[in-house]
Amino acid sequence: MSADLPSERVRAKATALGFQRVGVARAEPLDDDHARYVAFLDAGMHGGMAWLAENVAVRRDVATPDILEGARSVIVCALSYHRGDVAQPMPGAAVARYAHGADYHNFLRRRVRQLAAWLRSEFGARARPMVDTAPVLERAWARRAGVGFVGRNGLVIAPGLGSYLLLGEVVTDLELAPDAPAEERCGSCTRCLDACPTQAFPAPYVLDARRCVSYLTIEHDGPTDPTLRASIGDRIFGCDECQEVCPFNRTAALDPSLTRRFEGRARWAGVTPEGLLRMTPEAWNEAARGSPLARAGWRRMARNAATVLGNGGDRRHLPVLRETMTSTSPEVAEAARWAVEALTAEER
């Protein structure tokens, strides 16, 4: 059977499942992308994310027993979660757009699995669906499959959709007609690099996660680097600054009906940073259940909340911060002490 016909059917099926962009790449080794990834690890830029340094060799090639032996094609599906200007659901703090509602993994995983199941039933193919569940370089696959190019901030940018993208992949032994890889279109623009509040990009396309606000507020365990606290500003979970300034996001087509499927009202919506500090760990964990914010856990979120209040300059938060200084969590207590010092600096 010609590779073109099943390719057309695959794209039609993925589109019917709600994906806005679909691309296909040959399952060939990612030599250049893998070399850049290894250099990133060797420089220690992954910080405390030790899992990124695991299964390093596997990330080069999906056609192996670790992913799918005999794989011929990688199908990359993208869905935009950009809904235009939306109000922050946590008063007094900024939460990254992707985390405003329910955990997108559940929504996306169901549809990627449906696509893989359809490939098995329709073509008798072997197919492995993946949504952050396997050691693959998904942005490299998205570029190779023509879904979008990798911008200077390291994120996939799909012209017409922008960079607020959710990605899922299906690796299959079905031979499909590949799409042309996406060509880089940043031109001379450096807005994303210039906008980074912590200057986390030592070079274009290179992110030092140890300085990235998303890493510092979500993945990093322990006290926050004192030299970076003020630059975190009001960001309590994640950061969208390098995306907010991207011209491709300003002209992106919006389809709010798609994201409503997985963006219900979060239980924590309306909780302020001060309110978070007054909650017990159990109460916060219950409020964050089913949300991306659950990943950070109470300790990190409380640490972040204290940092946000310290950066806010409002002395009305001193009582709760002083109470938080007695927290049994060292990083939370330390962040509260720093915030109190920041708010009372003029007194000394």
Coil vs helix vs strand at 287: helix
Candidate list 31, 61, 66, 132, residue with the active-site label: 132
Nearest to 303 by CA among 240, 239, 216: 216
Active site residue 240: no
Coil vs helix vs strand at 157: strand
What string of DSSP letters covers 179-214? PPPPPP--TT--HHHHH-TT---SBTTB--GGG-HH
Q: Which residues pair with 24 in a beta bridge?
A: 75
Q: Could you give the CA distance from residue 302 to residue 264 in angstroms, rounded to a whole number?
A: 24
Tokens 């996306």 appear where? 108
Tokens 């008063």 appear where? 91
Q: Could you give the CA distance from residue 229 to residue 199 in angstroms, rounded to a whole number?
A: 13
Q: For the chain, what's the residue count?
A: 348
Nearest to 198 by CA among 220, 222, 170: 220
E runs forming strands in the chain: 21-26, 73-80, 94-95, 127-130, 149-150, 156-157, 165-172, 235-237
Q: Can you read off the two tokens belonging to residue 343? A: 């708010």
Tokens 């757009």 appear where? 97
Q: Can you read off the two tokens belonging to residue 212? A: 């990235």
Q: Distance from CA of residue 59 to its chain's centroid? A: 18
Active site residues: 132
